[in-house]
Structures are given as C-alpha cells and as structure tokens.
Structure 1
Amino acid sequence: MTYPEFEARWQVSGGAERANYGLFLTDFCDLLGVPRPDATTDDPTQDAYVLERAVTFDNGAGKGTTGRIDLYKRDCFVLETKQGTTKRTTEVQAERAKLGLSNPKLRKGHAVRGTATWQQVMESARQQALGYVRALPASEPRPPFVIVADVGYCIDVYSNFAGVGDNYAPFPDSQRFRVLLPELADEKIRERFQLLFTDPQRLDPARLAAKVTRELAGQLARLSAQLEQANHGTEVVATFLMRCLFTMFAEDTELIPADSFKGLLA
C-alpha cells in the first residue's frame, strides 16, 4: 500500500473505533511492508503477534478479569487504539440545530481532536496500555514500546528499553513522540515504525550512542596514527585531539559562536 492510498482511505475516518481499528492496523502493516498479525488461537501464550490478545487482571481476591490488547507483538509493543472525531462534525450538527433541521446520528468518537478532553482520552489510553503491560504473564518480557493510536489521525509512541518498571517515556523525545497521519508520507518515519515492528532494540538510543562512540574511537585512532607518522609526538597529538574535541563540544553547546571552529578548520 502506498501512502496516498493509505491517506485517502483513513483521513476521513472517525468516531467508530471498534469498527475501524482492525482494518486500520492491517493497512498500517501493509504501508510499512511488515507482516500482518497472525490469527488468534485459544492459547494466549501462543498469541505472540495478534489482534485482541487476551490478558488476565488479578483483582487480588483470587478472581481475575480478562482484558484484550488491541494489537500485541511479543518483544515489540503493546498498542491501544482510540478514535476521535473532527471539530467539523460538531460544527455541522450545531448548524443543523440552528436551522431547525433534524440531526443524523453521527458518530462522535471519544472526543473532538485537539481538545482537552481528547488529550485526557489519549492519556487514559496510555494508562490502559500500561495496565496491559503489567498484566502480561511473568514469562513474557515487557515490550520496549507502548503505542496509542487515534485511528486515522495520529500515533503516539513511548519507550522503555530497560525492560522493568512502568517508565515508558515519549519516543524519540517529547517533541516528536506524536506522529500525525501526514507525517507517515516521510520514508524515514516509516522506517522507524518498520524497526519498531521488526527489530525494536535497534531504536535504543544507548545502542546507537555506543555504535557512534565505537565509530568515533576508530576515526580518532586512525587520525592519531597519521599525525604520529608525520613526526608529531604522541603526547602532543593526544593533547591536540583532546582540545579539538572540547572545542567541538563548546561549539555544539553554543559556548562559542556557531560554526566558528568548523569555519576555522575549513
């Protein structure tokens, strides 16, 4: 499925979460080029990647209640869906009321998107997803991601790579954790979601930092060897490279004017 096809199918949806969420998620998989969920079995321990994954909540009195995760993929994520509605729906109904016309029974969804009530609904969905994480059997690891999707509108992403506790933080940060539908046209955004479905640990910032550190260490080692081969003393080379790194840090953190050291090197 191409993004224009995906957008044309879902940007007009609203107000019917239970009817829409399964279709939306399978189309989302097609857009990302990842496998669709498997069929649910009668054994939840076998349901590693399914819609409506059953979990049991322990009420502490020896009895349990059953909850169902909208989309679950073991070792990857717990996903909860909601569906809001646009402000336009409310405006149309108000205008018809002013004209004395009967209002069709339009689906209003959980709340008008962008309002304080809608924000509360999205937070409630996040808490619901965290409850599902806690209800997973002890034999199953806590997934690195919790996702909340407003069908056809946005996808909120939270991560916890430690694998313990409930500290799922906005991912990749508090400014970019909410991905609106049009942003899925960006191939890099889709690639991030592909990894979330297929190899989520590659998105761990700690692993990325370690990879960058190893690459940088290799570059510095080669540069150091070149300078020493040019008859510069080992101690002089080490001191020079340390000063360069500190100056780059000072430039990045704006302790000195932007691009001043980079311009000098050029």
Structure 2
Amino acid sequence: MTKVFVCGRGGSGKSTLTAILAKFLISEGMRVLVIDADESNRSLYRMLGLQAPYSTLMEDLGGRVAVKKAVFERQNGSDSEDAKLHVDDLPRSCVSRRDDLAFLAIGKIYKPDEGCACPMSALEKGFLERLYVPGWWVLVDCEAGVEHIGRGVWRHADVFLVVLEPSHESMEMAKFMNGLAKEVNRPIVTVVNMVDEDIAEDVKTSVESLGISVDAIFPRDRRVASANLSGQQVPLLPDFVPSLRACTEAILNKVKEGA
C-alpha cells in the first residue's frame, strides 16, 4: 500500500493530475483508491469518469455532530475499536467504484457558517490510520496549501507529491513545502504542471535553483483544459505517459529509500 498525498497551490492542477495519475496506474494493472480530502472540491469523481457517491464519508457517519462526538470519545479512550478497513469494507453509499478504481470523499462544506474543516481533518486522520489495502495505491487529493501538515494528517502519508505551475508564487510554495517535508521526515516528489514547451527548460532551471529536483514536467494541453471546462473525465493522453512513468518511478524510489 502506497499512500501519496497530492499537494499544491490552488489552481496548480493537483486534482487533474490526481485523476490522470490514477488512470495511468490502472492502465499499468494497479488498484487505486482516490480520496478527495478537499472540502471545497466538487468534481474529482467526474475527472475520474465515475458517478458521484450518494454521500461523503462524514455524511455517511451522521454528519459533523456525530463525527465530533466520535473523535471526542476516541481521544478520551472510550473507543477501543482498532479494526483495519479495506476498500471492500466501506459502505457503498460513500464509495464510487469501477473495477480496480475506487473513489471516496471525506466531507464537504455546503452552507455558510458551517464552521471550520477541523472535524473533516480529524475524520481523515482516523480513516487513514485504519485504512489497510495491501497492494493498492492510495492517492489523497489534499486541500490547497499546507493545512494537511498543520493539522497532522501528514503522519499517514508515505510521500508528498507536490504539484507546481509556472509562477513565482508556486516556486515559493515548493520551497516552503520542501522545508516542511524535511522537517516531518517525509520524501517529496516534485512535478511542474501546465508548462508550455518553449519555457520548460527555464521552469526546470528555476525550480532547481531552489535546491529542489524536478521529477516530471507535464505540458499544457488543450484537450485536458477542454475536458475540465465541460466537466468531462480527463483523458489519459499518450503525450503524458513518459511524465507519468517518471513520476511513478520517483514515488516508488523515494518511498523505498525512506523505508
């Protein structure tokens, strides 16, 4: 089981790359669970070409109040449940699945004044702690920024996959994330997304000038942009396969090195 936390700035395309990477892994004969941990995202299941689950995990467990109660009880030691969870054990109401591809969303914010996302983070931590799916890849599409590190969710990651786009702000994010990854002793794989061919070398040089190696570069592509605009599933393009393979190999190598 390889747990990959896909991180990045808002607008970097991390959800799109999560979906494309999932499709690539499936094409390579892998089994993949995609976890939507972004309380604002609404379309990751569509990018994967799946139907929306009937509910999120939080809704299936009874909503925020029920989750808060469960978290409180667990913190006070009254919940001794330590059973492992497999994909096959999850309620069908909160899982969308096609063959060896499964999708689950932790929770969403739907209304004004619903409060912070802390209960969702607590639920995510508890879920990932109990998740046991040998032989599967687990891709966690994190919320934008570094909330997953600040709230301690990072402890359940095997590796951070940081997605950048060609901008100064994204480079600063990469530098910050690289420092945080070292601090929490987690390997990091860095990819740059939506790169025009004529600036690819400049982008690579800029990132590497920060002391960060670039593991893969993904080109800007109208077909991907068109699919996102129309709400269709993102295509697995042959042009992307070399970068996807490089990304996958970097993940496996860095997880192995850190084992």
TM-score surpassing 0.5? Answer: no
The TM-score range, normalised by the shorter chain, is 0.3 to 0.5
TM-score, scaled relative to structure 1: 0.32
Q: Which has the higher contact order (CA 8 A, sep 6+)?
A: 2
Question: Could you tell me the TM-score, scaled by structure 2's length?
Answer: 0.32
